[in-house]
Amino acid sequence: LRKVKGRKPRWAVRASEMSKKTFNPIRAIVDTMKVEPNPNKPMISLSLGDPTVFGNLPTDDEVTQAVKEALDSGNYNGYAPSVGYQSCRQVVAAYYSCPEAPLEAQDVILTSGCSQAIELALAVLANPGQNILVPRPGFSLYKTLALSMGIEVKFYNLLPEKAWEIDLKHLESLVDEKTACLIVNNPSNPCGSVFSKSHLQKILAVASRQCVPILADEIYGDMVFAECKYEPIATLSTNVPILSCGGLAKRWLVPGWRMGWILVNDRRDIFGKEIRDGLVSLSQRILGPCTIVQGALEHIIHRTPPEFYHNTLSFLKSNADLCYAALSAVSGLQPIQPSGAMYLMVSEALMCHFQSIAVCSVCAGSCCPCFEYPNFFRVVLTVPEELMVEACSRIQEFCERHYQGSEGAQDLECDK
């Protein structure tokens, strides 16, 4: 007992600092949410960014068929390389490659969901003590991951009055010597906004001037309504190096499958070998995503019928229009028309207890830190139409009562 001489050991097992610094506000709500339905007034959860919860948006048969074929082949049960099978990386590269931003297999890293893509991208770009620039309102995972790694978060503002464009002056003012990357989320959760080509070019100009690489969260890529065009930011970059994060979760409606990817766009060789090697090393900590989903990727990407994507988007657009119209009519509320993704933001500037609304459309606002954005709440547009109608009318009813001084009625309960 050489080293412990004089020490009388006692049990004192403490959780690590990192685990204490790790807090995911959305999951904290969702994972502890009571799901028992209330028989009198079933909860309508508008707060969860999971398109599958109501069963009205199943994935395409080709997508499940693809996994069955991968299973039956027997070829996808073993370990894949930790960055994914070469052939699957090739499929993703070919699908997202374009002349302005060419991609090869080696530019693709498959990950366990877009969440792990973001984790690896942050882990390779930033050291503890550095900072990252994050949109406000924005997806909470950026902050969750950054703080758990000792990385500081600086929020740049999105402008609701300009269709949620970035306040570029504010953004640029936040850059300092310790800025490791700029996160751009387009199309946006929670805003449902889609940046124009010219706005993206202005964002790139800031990044280029300040020499800050971009982490592009494009998990809602291609999910834009008809009148709008989605431009992957990498296709517009001439020099700024970009790690684009995406995956199957949203467009193919299978978030539980945990299939994501990083696309390395680095035309000027600024990331160089170092960042690529770093991503490979980091991927080797827990190895890649489930191999049977990897084995299904080619089929999923090539054989999902265009109608599937189209149907999802027209459903979302119709729900967006319905919700927009209904909530526009409610005094005290001001919805903002979305152009893509699966969300719509509503300003509730006059209210302060919105989180107690029975429809549980709340996952924002002063009392919920999910989007760092008080006085707005996010509506998820994936719920069935009849529930959307019912939810809007409950919101209206609540608001009317609320403005008469009532603090909410007995039958109203929050989802927390």
Binders of a copy of itself in range 80-119 (CB under 8 A): 80-83, 112-113, 115-116, 119
Sign of CA dihedral 220, 259, 363, 357: positive
Q: Does 192 bind ligand PLP (CB under 6 A)?
A: no
Closest to ligand PLP by CB, 313 or 399 = 313
CB atoms within 10 A of CB 164: 23
Backbone dihedral region of 230: left (phi > 0), alpha (psi from -120 to 50 degrees) or beta? beta
Nearest to 199 by CA among 105, 34, 339, 394: 339
CB 291 within 8 A of CB 84: no
141-148 helix and 113-125 helix, angle to the nearest 10 degrees: 40
CB atoms within 10 A of CB 311: 13
Question: Residue 257 binds which entry of ligand PLP, a copy of itself, none, with Cβ cut-offs from 5 to 8 Å by kind?
Answer: a copy of itself
**Minimum Å distance from CB 360 to a copy of itself?**
16
CA-to-CA distance for 47 and 415, rounded, in angstroms?
Answer: 9
Q: Does 184 bind a copy of itself (CB under 8 A)?
A: no
Residue 213 φ/ψ, nearest 5 degrees:
-70, 160
Q: Which stretch binds ligand PLP (CB under 6 A): 112-120, 153-161, 375-383, 404-412?
A: 112-120
**Minimum Å distance from CB 190 to ligand PLP?**
8
CB 223 within 8 A of CB 340: yes
**Minimum Å distance from CB 122 to ligand PLP?**
12
Closest to ligand PLP by CB, 80 or 336 = 80
Return the residue matching tokens 């906004």.
193
Q: Does 69 bind a copy of itself (CB under 8 A)?
A: no
Q: Which stretch binds a copy of itself (CB under 8 A): 94-102, 254-262, 357-365, 366-374?
A: 254-262
Q: What residues from 276 to 295 belong to the interface with a copy of itself (CB under 8 A)?
A: 277-282, 284-294
Instruction: Select from 45, 47, 90, 148 the one that contacts a copy of itself (CB under 8 A).
Output: 148
Tokens, residue 137: 């309102």
Where do contacts with ligand PLP occur on this chain (CB under 6 A)?
49, 113-115, 139, 185, 189, 217, 219, 247, 249, 255, 260, 287
